[in-house]
Homo-oligomer: A and B are copies of this chain.
């Protein structure tokens, strides 16, 4: 059994665990067992899922949990558990040790180890090949991205059409809010079969917390960060894009921040390529901002400047390896990563621009088409 040392075990729901989805391409809301033994993928499904699995799942063998359970019962076991079934299958194939994902549940790990098996957790990326995307995967990501750009365009149209009265923006007689713009984006996405779990439309100082979703009225002459990262309901591939606009006039500081972020992002475009170290890209942008006088650090108990990473991998998860941040991470051709520097100062507002790139041998291709402008 030459492959025995590389047996793989997962117990997860593919609707929430991207490694399980990657391995099976089959959406299941409840956890099930996956084994890879001697190169063969085996999944063990409940009565509820077994027939659908046979027609839809990418697996070499679909076994019935209840049928395996009956087998163990007739061998004398009273109430066979998932662990009993795993024990039975591993022994049957002469497997003594298995590799599991880093996020494998410790409660199952303990019980499997108690049966005498060796269990080796492997950190992300569990499937090394997952970080490098096939052309088909890049096509799926691009499809989600195009839909996302259409949804952002709808939001920009409404902002552009809005009337400025005093500090507020009005559209069809109604005051525009972060919530109303988020709803436009999310509904337009859903019309196109994409789901945004959270969409950020963060005005002014709210945008200085980069993960603040945003709430309340949108004001004129104020930065509005729109960060949209939905996935396709049919393929589960994500996209991720951020634009920052001002309805009305931006302050001089905001304009300088916008130019700096655009130039910082351009540093990323120049440096990102196969073999580049993500942390060097990140540091180069940090240093560029620093040189312009846009300092990063805590002021009055609050972080300001550029205090998040420059980018992250994206695919079946919105955040996956590699990272372009503080830690060394060598980029590979075919990875899809974001390039998203930002600057945040409570006295001016927040600016973030985010595009999606494919890493290539001699550079990168920007998948994002949406234009960049500040004042609308």
Binding site for B on A (CB under 8 A): 15-16, 27-30, 47-52, 100, 102-110, 119, 121-123, 183, 186-187, 189-191, 193, 195-198, 209-213, 233, 302-303, 307-308, 318-319
Most buried by B among A15, A30, A303: A303
- CB pair A52–B211 under 8 Å, yes or no, is yes
- CB pair B52–A209 under 8 Å, yes or no, is yes
Known pairs A48-B307, A104-B107 / 14 extra A-B pairs, C-beta < 8 Å: A15-B198, A29-B318, A47-B308, A50-B303, A51-B209, A51-B302, A52-B211, A103-B103, A103-B106, A104-B106, A105-B105, A183-B191, A186-B190, A189-B190
**What residues on B are CB-neighbors of A30 within 8 Å?**
319
- Cα A190 to Cα B188 with chains together (Å): 9
- Cα A303 to Cα B50 with chains together (Å): 9
- The 16 sampled A-B contact pairs (Cβ below 8 Å) are A15-B198, A47-B307, A48-B210, A48-B303, A50-B303, A51-B209, A51-B303, A102-B106, A103-B107, A104-B106, A105-B121, A106-B106, A106-B119, A106-B121, A186-B190, A187-B190
**What residues on B are CB-neighbors of A122 within 8 Å?**
107
**What residues on B are CB-neighbors of A198 within 8 Å?**
15, 27, 29, 233
Closest-by-CB residue of B relative to A296 is B47
Closest-by-CB residue of B relative to A196 is B195
- Cα A210 to Cα B28 with chains together (Å): 11
Closest-by-CB residue of B relative to A111 is B121
- CB pair B211–A48 under 8 Å, yes or no, is yes
**What residues on B are CB-neighbors of A211 within 8 Å?**
28-29, 48-49, 52
**What residues on B are CB-neighbors of A16 within 8 Å?**
16
- Cα A209 to Cα B52 with chains together (Å): 6
**What residues on B are CB-neighbors of A106 within 8 Å?**
100, 102-106, 109, 119, 121
Q: How far is the CB of A297 from chain B (nearest CB, A)?
A: 10
**What residues on B are CB-neighbors of A318 within 8 Å?**
29
**What residues on B are CB-neighbors of A109 within 8 Å?**
106, 109
Closest-by-CB residue of B relative to A103 is B105
Q: How far is the CB of A71 from chain B (nearest CB, A)?
A: 15
Closest-by-CB residue of B relative to A186 is B190
**What residues on B are CB-neighbors of A104 within 8 Å?**
105-107
**What residues on B are CB-neighbors of A100 within 8 Å?**
106
- Cα A189 to Cα B119 with chains together (Å): 43
- Cα A122 to Cα B105 with chains together (Å): 11
